[in-house]
Structure 1
Amino acid sequence: MDNLTTTKRSELMSRVRGRDTKPEMTIRRLLHARGWRYRVSVKGLPGTPDIVFSRLKTAIFVNGCFWHGHTCRLGTRPKTREAFWADKIETNKLRDSRKNDELASRGWRVLTVWQCQLSDTDAAISEIEAFLEASKHIPSGVGKNEGTKETKLGI
């Protein structure tokens, strides 16, 4: 049972941010410290990716495990209003998939980084950098769907 009133719960949920979250800021700081330059929350791209490397045509989404339905302990759904949360999270997952497909059809490579993966920041940043380095070596004449498949870090 929820031990907060409806008003208090609403106030708490209203403070959940969509950008500049702690996991996103962690990745951005690590990338910047390693010399990577990027744009943040580019509105002209499907799904408004969190981190964008325009010259590499590479987008990174930093997903919260709860909100995007990851199958880890952080992605555990609440026991109250189960139908509501199941529908909400499933809708988020479908939207994520659709936006990733839209980016891929435009020739972009997409990487999804999960909040739980940042418990080992060294491993996470190594995998992100490997993905970015691989993006440098994709020829410009590559077909739209080659090399654009969505990738998720070490799940």
Structure 2
Amino acid sequence: MPEPEAWTPPEGSWASSAARRRNMQAIRSRDTTPEQLIRRLVHARGLRYRVAAKPLPDLRRTADMVFRPAKVAVFIDGCYWHGCPEHYVAPKTNPGYWSEKVARNIARDRDTNQRLLDADWLVLRFWEHEASDACALQIISAVRDRRS
């Protein structure tokens, strides 16, 4: 019986191995545990919101929680993907690609913040490691302030 061919990444692929590719594809971009905890706490306090929605129709980016009437956009950023100053550790495998990827994410986050601010939105960003209850209280307070 012939040996199965070894997996090789496609030309220009970010994956350094088949295992790394599977691992990276399994990472969620929405409905993460920190997001779900915060959403549950906010929902329990009676606030309703859109999940993974575009705050602005012409903006090709989504916020984790959107309160349209109050114009509040909430982002719960992952420490690795958004370059947390406390927890980000540069990768040892393919560091050039991943460090540039995180730098692009940070630049995109700043651009998103500015576009939303220019459209009179309040942007709330939290790190995944922050206490869910504290984040939820900030969100609830901000939404209620903007509504009144």
**TM-score, normalised via structure 1 length:** 0.76
Percent of aligned positions that are identical: 39
Q: CA RMSD in A?
A: 1.7
Gaps of 5+ in 1: 138-155
1 CA distance for matches of 2:126 and 2:98? 22
* SS state at 1:35 partner: coil
Pairing 1:65-76 to 2, within 5 Å after superposition: 65-73=79-87, 75-76=88-89
* SS state at 2:24 partner: helix
Q: 1:63 aligns with which of 77, 85, 89?
A: 77
The alignment covers a number of residue pairs equal to: 130
Query: Cα offset for 1:44?
Result: 5.8
**TM-score, normalised via structure 2 length:** 0.80
Aligned CA distance change for structure 1 residues 63 and 22 (closer, same or farther; 3 Å) = same
2 CA distance for matches of 1:115 and 1:60? 12
Pairing 1:135-154 to 2, within 5 Å after superposition: 135-137=146-148
The AA in structure 2 aligned to 1:20 is D
Gaps of 5+ in 2: 1-15
Give 1 or 2 for the bigger CA radius of gyration. 2
2 CA distance for matches of 1:24 and 1:123? 13
Q: Looking at both structures, which has the greater relative contact order when contacts are Cα pairs under 8 Å and sequence separation is at least 6? A: 2
Q: 2:114 aligns with which of 93, 96, 101?
A: 101
Q: Deviations over 1:4-33 (max 9, x none)?
A: x81111011101111111111111111111
